[in-house]
Amino acid sequence: MNKRTVAVLVHPEREEALDSAVEFMADLHARGFDFLVFDEDVQRVGARVAPEVEFRALDHHLAELAVVFGGDGTILRASEWALRLGVPLLGVNLGHVGFLAELETSGLRALATVVDEKRYLVEERLALEVKVTDAAGNVHWTSPAVNEVSLEKIARERMLNVLVSIDDRPLSRWGCDGVLVSTPTGSTAYGFSAGGPVIWPDVQAMLVVPLAAHALFNRPMVLSPSSKVRLDITPEPPAKGIIWCDGRRSYEVNDDEMIEVTQLGVKLKLARVGEQPFTTRLVKKFALPVDGWRKRTEA
């Protein structure tokens, strides 16, 4: 009988994340599990776990589940491996405002049982793919994105002139700091900070947000998930742009290159321990005053 394998992925700096992960691995090892860890964490984890606990580096190995100890940033890091393999991510939130990593540390004691007995639901989230090509259609760079793809100016003193096209039809040319293309998942991240709407994660849509655009028409737009967003940097006046995916991977765009953002062919899989509605999570994470900001008047 083959052993079951779970990936245990840990925040690179938080000691409490490593402590929790080691304790979880000990509990699950007693139930007959093996483990995968981030390549760079092999020595770090090996120095803490019991010698009999078997684990190896991620590489392209499969796991039935990845348990992520950290916050949304660690989830985004883990998604680079999990997306293409279809491995669900179960996040334990050790950060601050976590929308992807929703399990709090108070639920750690029962976590091994939850994983062993598969007491979780798996939901799918839309992800994006960005391609940078030249005029001949040669692909120079490509990357997935769970939260957002952002095209931003490099030089502070110059605006970017960006022509935005939707489904091969030009929409508007903006003099701006950049343009953001977000998923519903990312609408509570950079998209929210840039003035975009909050989109419930089960909505199938893409969000386009101009960043500090000097234009009369500069409002966020919600598009079909099958839309194709094309971004062309106008060379006059000359300005350089850089693409960021989830704030983790970047590419400096050359003058003759075009950026295209579409829906990724696979979905991000997130494991949920409970069916906590997104509205409840939104109120909790942003500490929203349900009764409003105005003082209640006594009757």
Q: What are 126-156's pLDDT values in tens digits?
A: 999 999 999 899 999 999 999 999 999 998 8
Active site residues: 72
Residues 92, 12: Cα–Cα separation, whole Å = 14
Are 91 and 117 in the same domain?
yes
Phi-psi region of 98 (alpha: psi -120 to 50; beta: other; left: phi over 0): beta
- Structurally, the chain folds into a number of domains equal to 2
Say if CB 175 and CB 164 are below 8 A apart.
Answer: no
Residue 272 inside a domain? The answer is yes
Are 98 and 138 in the same domain?
no
> Does residue 1 have a pLDDT over 60?
no
Of the pLDDT bands very low, low, confident and very high (cuts 50, 70, 90), residue 211 is very high
Are 79 and 58 in the same domain?
yes
Residue 291 inside a domain? The answer is no
Q: Which residues pair with 175 in a beta bridge?
A: 161
Residue 91 inside a domain? The answer is yes
- Residue (of 169, 176, 252, 175) closest to 211 by Cα position: 176
Is 60 strand, coil or helix? coil
Say if CB 182 and CB 190 are below 8 A apart.
Answer: yes
Q: What are 30-87's pLDDT values in tens digits?
A: 999 999 999 888 988 888 898 899 899 988 788 999 999 988 899 999 999 999 899 9
Range of the domain at 216: 128-263
Residues 80, 250: Cα–Cα separation, whole Å = 14
- Residue (of 155, 150, 163, 115) closest to 272 by Cα position: 115
Its pTM stands at: 0.90
Assign residue 231 the CATH number of its domain.
2.60.200.30
